[in-house]
Chain A
Amino acid sequence: MITEEELDNLIICKKCHTLHKRVPLPPNKKAFCSKCDILLYQNNPNILNKTLALVIAATISLFVAFKFTIVTIDIQGMEKSLTLYALFMVILEQHQYIVGVMFIFLIFIFPITIIFSMLILLILMKRKKGGYLVKRLLILLAHIRPWSMVDIFFISLLVAMVKLFDYAYIELGVSFIALIFTLILDIIITKNLSFYELWNLYTKIYGGVNE
């Protein structure tokens, strides 16, 4: 029979499902899969504080991104702005419930849920409190992460702007910049901290709490 510690020292690559044995890494070093070169794990000291700072910044930029105007277009003196509020109004007015609800969940509700869950669980982990809540939040994150599409929304925004270029004068709003910040922060966070590492920290901090 294999012990828990032995299992903890194993890792299966998320891309090619090859089984690897973990080796202790010196600080700031990374381990990659031998078959597909994807990042397996890393030794990143002080990871909780660093990530918490990034997540706080991401929370602010995501809030700004949805609070203010993303872009304003001007067609022969007539102006229209893209904001979350305008989006809600148009969906209600045009009765686009299925597309509208999908859109709001994918670009607004899921990203907000993810960032707030991250915020709460990092603070709890720093204080070594609330093991059960941390676990529930980590499970929630695993379920909704594939459904957050802020990055795809941003590319769509660029495509829409190119389509409008010939007809309208386009002015970028504060939220457009905030959206770029959110995406950059998101990339840095996911590069520095994989969920594999968060779960390992969870085991380290809370031990084998079976709640």
Chain B
Amino acid sequence: MYEFARGPLVSIAFAVFIGGSFYRIISTILLAKKEKVILPFVSPRHGLRSIMHWIIPFGSRNWRIHPSFTILTFMFHICLLLTPVLTLGHIMLWRESWSLSWWSLPPVLSTLMTIIVILGGIIFFLRRIADPTVRFVSSWSDFVLVIIVIAPFVTGFMAHQQICDYNAIITIHMISGALWLVIIPFTRIVHMLFFPLTRAYMGGEFGYVRNARDW
């Protein structure tokens, strides 16, 4: 099981993630082309301007009026994306398998970032229950998704701290990590891929077409 997870499973997961992501983005752009009233209003300058305002903490009014949520979501997302890519253990494996290698985070830092992801996930989960509006629009799948997203971090943390049987935990870690990759293009986590597209389109509709700001 460990061998399978380590070898083929991870490769398949990457292939599905990369292939699936390309498929979602390209098919969306083709569909947008067919809808006719989208591409004529896309402007790289205004699109980028809008993206910048929203990926910088406190760059938009809505980020400013919710400071604690803003700090939480930025820390969560930054750690979520960077930790897996910059963890020493992962890089060693990639070097072995695909002879790819780059700079890694000091282990203390990656542990800290892992904890941030886990805590962030838990807070998001609780917020879904506690905030009446968010609860009203959430369905069970939203809760499951949070669990899938933080599962690899929880198991990675446990493996690193040698909690439970290492081999069992690391196998579960790889399986949950694979699941994490695979669901990105096919569930609401696709917001990661679509963010630049929807934001850029709105940036164009506001900035290029209407000469107004959308942040």
Report whether chain A binds chain B. Answer: no
